[in-house]
Amino acid sequence: MDHPARNVRQQQQLSGRLDPAKCRGGLRVAAALATMVAALVACNGRATPGDPPTEAASVGQSPDVLSASLNGVPELCGEPPKPSRRGKPAPPEGLPANRYLFCAEVVATTADGGEHRWNIQILTNEPSPDVREKRLVFVHAGGPGLASTGRLAAVLPTLDYSQSVAVSWDGSTSSSEPGACGPASAAYGVDRSDWETTASQVAEECGARDGEAPWLASAGSAAEELEATRIALGKDQVDLLTYSYGTAVAQAYLALYPERVSRAVLDGPIVLETPWDQRIAAMRRATSRAWNEMVRRCLTRTCPAQTRQLLRESAGYAQVRARLLEDPVSVGSGQQDLTPTIVDQATLMGLRTVSTRKGLVQGIREALAGDGTDLWQYGTRQYFGLDRAVYLDALCHDLRHPGSIEAFAVDGDPLTASFATDLAPCALAPFIEFDTASNSRARVLVMASDLDPLTPWELVQHGTWSANTKLCHTHTPGHTGGLFRGPRLAAKRMLSGDAFRCPP
């Protein structure tokens, strides 16, 4: 099968270093990938969940992976806690009881002639790394550096290890969150060799200091690492259990290798082709509302005198923001100034808790006095969740009223519903049915946000992780067969057997 998104990405990788034209090309690649995923979810899938793999889906080489194997035998790198001397269970030391962690290295040769290596971790309930008789569940817990199995034991306590093994990987492209800020093409079509060329551009757009810009990896490249890992482990099909940026990787894998996926639970979607500054700008209304609510509460309750004075002087967030941006404020080495994105993101992050709100106010006071270093620190922290108590009312209000999604527009271009739901803890969780090539039906779950109380791992616990269920996420507006208030109700309806039809 010819994969347009992957072919364009390969051409970009082989054509040299990034230039502005390639930045625009990255948007086209991202759009192509999103279109492919939409087609997959909109009743055009190729693989029937639970069916035996066809010859085309047998263990073999992908178009981009010439060969892949394990470098030696997986070694035991984590054991269950041993009982204490008095016979009582010892405190957990990273792994729960009856769990064994094995580590191995995958060596892959790709079509461009390169050799690539990365580590994988296998979590099982047996003192053996044998995966032949069990389902293979690829896990990516999301975020920079969270692909490794340091999180596996914590996020997968409910997986049925009598039938499955969990595998995560920390390849060069899977352990970072590209596209969260910087050029849109950083999400797709940027090879590792482009790092030096694009680092300064990303640092400027993300507000990161030297050496702190995210590794420019591709979700598609990470998906190919996942495919090579599947080949190395000798499995026909895999299950996917992902979160946040891991969902972007799984989304790419579903687009490139749909026949390899048996089941999938994808949570906390992010839209890589949406630049980070646009995400922050789309939140400005809610940020302003939350700031103004903080002012109201602070002035009617006990707050530090300096905080009350600053808040009393401000007529609202718009005025504070305008004052901060009125004159350039150099920070750190003096090479960077506060930008609208940095100010908005600093406020967004600083409003999360009482302690950070105090620091935010102090940072604003210093910035107004000419030194915005503390405020800059807030503004360079990337979003991986918001404080529910602060943002719940503001965001839910926007999403529950007619035309609310349009409120998250940037420069007249409405963002996708998924972008809003990615940021909104109150967002609705749509279910649809998924038509496969053989016209059989499978459930598709769209998890609403990183903050949903019902996570994929709770879904596992609730029993929805079944052989006849394909659970995945789509961010394409118009492909939702039913909207329900909150994922818990949606999961309950799913468990009760309610039917949802795929729209035409």
DSSP 5-27: HHHHHHHHHHT-S--HHHHHHHH
Q: Confirm if 94 and 156 have CB atoms less than 8 A apart.
A: no
Share of the chain above pLDDT 70, in %: 35
Same domain, 140 and 95: yes
* 84-140 pLDDT per residue, tens: 555 544 434 456 667 788 889 999 887 777 788 888 888 888 888 888 888 888 877
Is 471 contained in some domain? Answer: no
Same domain, 223 and 343: no
Same domain, 249 and 310: no
Nearest CA among 468, 455, 460, 464 for reference residue 492: 464
Q: What is the pLDDT of residue 333?
A: 60
Is 72 contained in some domain? Answer: yes
How many independent structural domains does the chain possess?
2
Same domain, 271 and 283: no
Same domain, 38 and 131: yes
Is 87 contained in some domain? Answer: yes
Q: What is the pLDDT of residue 49?
A: 28
Same domain, 102 and 38: yes
Q: What is the pLDDT of residue 230?
A: 93
Same domain, 297 and 237: no
Cα distance between residue 431 and residue 9, in whole Å: 31
Determine the average pLDDT of the residues in 177-206: 37
Enclosing domain of residue 105: 4-275
Q: Confirm if 481 and 493 have CB atoms less than 8 A apart.
A: no
Q: What is the pLDDT of residue 482?
A: 23
Determine the average pLDDT of the residues in 220-248: 80
Same domain, 130 and 84: yes
Is 145 contained in some domain? Answer: yes
Looking at 253, 275, 297, which one is the last position of a domain? Answer: 275
Q: What is the pLDDT of residue 71?
A: 92
Q: What is the pLDDT of residue 277?
A: 64
Looking at 275, 302, 322, which one is the last position of a domain? Answer: 275
* 466-475 pLDDT per residue, tens: 333 333 332 2
Q: With cut-offs at 50, 70 and 90, classify the pLDDT of residue 233.
A: very high
* 41-61 pLDDT per residue, tens: 222 222 322 332 222 223 444
Q: Return the exposure string of 280-307: e unless at least 16 CB atoms fall within 10 Å of the residue's CB, then b.
A: bbbbbbbbbbbbbebbeebeeeebeeeb
Share of the chain above pLDDT 90, in %: 3
Question: Residue 73 pLDDT more than 80?
Answer: yes
Quote the tokens at residue 33.
Answer: 């990938």
Check the CA dihedral 48-53-59-62 and report its sign.
negative
Nearest CA among 267, 286, 270 for reference residue 416: 270
Is 147 contained in some domain? Answer: yes
Q: With cut-offs at 50, 70 and 90, classify the pLDDT of residue 232.
A: very high
How many CA atoms are closer than 13 Å to the CA of 473, on its beta-carbon side? 36
Same domain, 205 and 291: no
Q: What is the pLDDT of residue 436?
A: 29
Regarding predicted confidence, which is higher, 494 or 134?
134
Quote the tokens at residue 61.
Answer: 């080489």
Nearest CA among 80, 241, 74, 242 for reference residue 153: 80
Determine the average pLDDT of the residues in 459-467: 33
Q: What is the pLDDT of residue 229?
A: 92
Angle between helices 317-326 and 284-300 (to 10 degrees): 110
Question: Residue 417 pLDDT more than 70?
Answer: no
Regarding predicted confidence, which is higher, 143 or 413?
143
Q: With cut-offs at 50, 70 and 90, classify the pLDDT of residue 498.
A: very low
Q: What is the pLDDT of residue 198?
A: 40
Question: Residue 175 pLDDT more than 70?
Answer: no
* 276-330 pLDDT per residue, tens: 566 567 667 767 877 877 777 776 666 767 677 777 777 788 888 998 898 888 7
Among the ranges given (191-205, 304-318, 341-355, 409-423), the one the predictor scored with the smallest mean pLDDT: 409-423
Is 63 contained in some domain? Answer: yes
Residue 70 pairs in a beta bridge with 106
Query: How high does pLDDT run on average in the chain?
Result: 54
Same domain, 231 and 323: no
Q: Confirm if 272 and 248 have CB atoms less than 8 A apart.
A: yes
Query: What pTM value is reported for the model?
Result: 0.51
Question: Residue 142 pLDDT more than 70?
Answer: no
Is 497 contained in some domain? Answer: no
E-strand ranges in 197-267 read 238-243, 261-267
Q: What angle do CA 133, 134, 140 make, to 5 degrees?
A: 145
- Compute φ and ψ for 165, nearest 5 degrees: -125, 145
Element (H, E) at 169: strand 164-169
Looking at 400, 419, 442, which one is the last position of a domain? Answer: 400
Highest mean predicted confidence (pLDDT) among 73-87, 193-207, 357-371: 357-371
The CA distances from residue 138 to 120, 227, 331, 451, in Å, are 10, 10, 42, 22
91 C-beta neighbours (distance < 10 Å), count: 7
User: Which residue reads 């969260």 in tokens?
Assistant: 180
Determine the average pLDDT of the residues in 342-350: 81
Q: What is the pLDDT of residue 283?
A: 67
Same domain, 267 and 323: no
* 354-386 pLDDT per residue, tens: 667 778 888 888 888 888 888 887 776 544 333
Is 355 contained in some domain? Answer: yes
Same domain, 259 and 367: no
Q: With cut-offs at 50, 70 and 90, classify the pLDDT of residue 234.
A: very high
Q: What is the pLDDT of residue 220?
A: 67
